[in-house]
Amino acid sequence: MNGRTERLSGWGRYPVAECIVKRPGDAESVPPLLNRLPMAIARGNGRSYGDASLAPDATVDLRRLDRLIDFDPASGCLTCESGVLLADIIDAMLPRGWFVPVTPGTKLVTLGGMIASDVHGKNHHVAGSFCDHVEWIDLAIGTGEVLRCSPCEHADLFAATCGGMGLTGVILRACFRLLRVESAAVRQRIVRAATLADAFEVFEASLDWTYSVAWIDCLAQGRHLGKSAIFLGEHALPDQLPHARRAAPLARHTRRTKHVPFDFPTFVLSRPSVRLFNHLYYAVQRPRDAIVDIDPYFYPLDAVHDWNRIYGHSGFIQYQCVLPLAESEMGLKRLLREIAAVGEASFLAVLKRMGPASFGMLSFPMEGYTLALDFPANRSSFALLDRLDAITAAHGGHIYLAKDACVGAKSFASGYSRLDEFRTVRARYGLDQHFASLLSRRLEI
């Protein structure tokens, strides 16, 4: 199987790297392939934002490993190959009354990528992260050997792989538990918050809701700092649906997808443009209850193909940090003031309440609040990100590796207390001799 050199990037389109790409046709061909390769990294659908899935010497594209293997309706356990898309899992299982227990904001990710990033969703405060629902993983470790990893078997390697950004091997297959649902709709409540303190009050008063997420106006300043629209959600029951939908509660309403046909010019994301969008968006989100489909509630941006082109040909950086609960309000005020002063924040800003820290050694979540937003990839943004990193570190937080493209090794290490433990596991299994990415080299993992 010959590889070829391709220009690759993550979803942020920054950075771009020349990588030798290998595309195994099935899971069985991966272990012997890895044994012949130099330092490699696995790549799914390329939806991590920065350089996590880029390795110049050998990037292993796993999208052909896309089979759903087995399902046990008694336990809700689904076994899949690692390259299967979350979209395909939902298409197959939702009509049968099953949904993923934790989902990120896009369904165009692979199962392997979800595990490697230990993705979290709008329900982290009640359900934890995705790997809390994983039963086991089959992991190719680069020597030709495949290890079954779980909380009971190679538990150290399991904890390193969940959130380990592909640096412990190539995930071939995994088994995880699905969630039983009775409809393909969500009962949504919209609540507006005039300030960050108001938004915190809504989140803390809504911890009994399964899902919660806020859009936040990152350009608002002064007495409007932290102005937000909070979206609460529960899986709808059949008798809560409109009468026309009750006969087929698990049917989804298809949406017409839109396309971004070209790279937008820079003025589209100028401060006046974003300020106008934020004003109109907040005005439209009137407080109300409604029944909405699963797709627009969980995956609104999937309705716009290639939306990353909005940021122009230079790409963008998504910055996502999490702050511990006791530090969240003060830390987020400092972050928002810094961002608003520069005025380059995008309209895609998200605030979420997180539950207890996950078990993965490099997993992102901790109990507190997480803020995520986009910046154009330019010199001004890079300087701003350095200041945001310093504020995040000062308040005991850290950044999300699946989104990161810029943080330095020192800042990264200060936020992840189990980094040395992760390095020890890598050395114990010889993984540091087989797996590396541009991210791992930049962060000196």
**pLDDT tens-digit profile of 373-419?**
999 999 999 999 999 999 999 999 999 999 999 999 999 999 999 99
Q: How confident is the model at residue 156 (pLDDT cuts 50, 70, 90)?
A: very high
H or E element that contains 401: none
Could you tell me the two tokens for 310?
A: 């909005």
**pLDDT tens-digit profile of 248-275?**
999 998 777 888 888 888 777 788 888 8
- Indicate the residue type of 127: A
pLDDT at 167 exceeding the cut of 70: yes
User: CB neighbours (10 Å) of residue 81?
Assistant: 22
CB 130, CB 119: distance < 8 Å: yes
CB 212, CB 203: distance < 8 Å: yes
pLDDT at 205 exceeding the cut of 60: yes
Residues 6+ apart with CB under 8 A from 378: 314
The mean pLDDT value for 97-101 works out to 98
The mean pLDDT value for 153-179 works out to 98
pLDDT at 1 exceeding the cut of 60: no
Q: How confident is the model at residue 345 (pLDDT cuts 50, 70, 90)?
A: low
**pLDDT tens-digit profile of 310-326?**
888 999 999 999 999 99
Looking at the DSSP bridge assignments, the partners of residue 98 are: 180
How would you class 239 by CB atoms within 10 Å of its CB: exposed for 0-12, middle for 13-18, buried for 19 or more?
Answer: exposed
CA distance 95 to 91: 7
**pLDDT tens-digit profile of 75-93?**
999 999 999 999 999 999 9
* pLDDT for 257: 82
73 preceded by cis ω (within 30°)? no
The mean pLDDT value for 32-45 works out to 95
CB 100, CB 76: distance < 8 Å: no
CA distance 206 to 243: 28
Which of 87, 38, 121, 49 lies closest to 364, judged by CA? 121
* pLDDT for 2: 62
Average pLDDT, whole number, for the chain? 95
User: CB neighbours (10 Å) of residue 71?
Assistant: 17
Three-state DSSP at 41 gives strand
* pLDDT for 174: 98
The mean pLDDT value for 95-111 works out to 98
Is the pTM for the entire model greater than 0.85?
yes
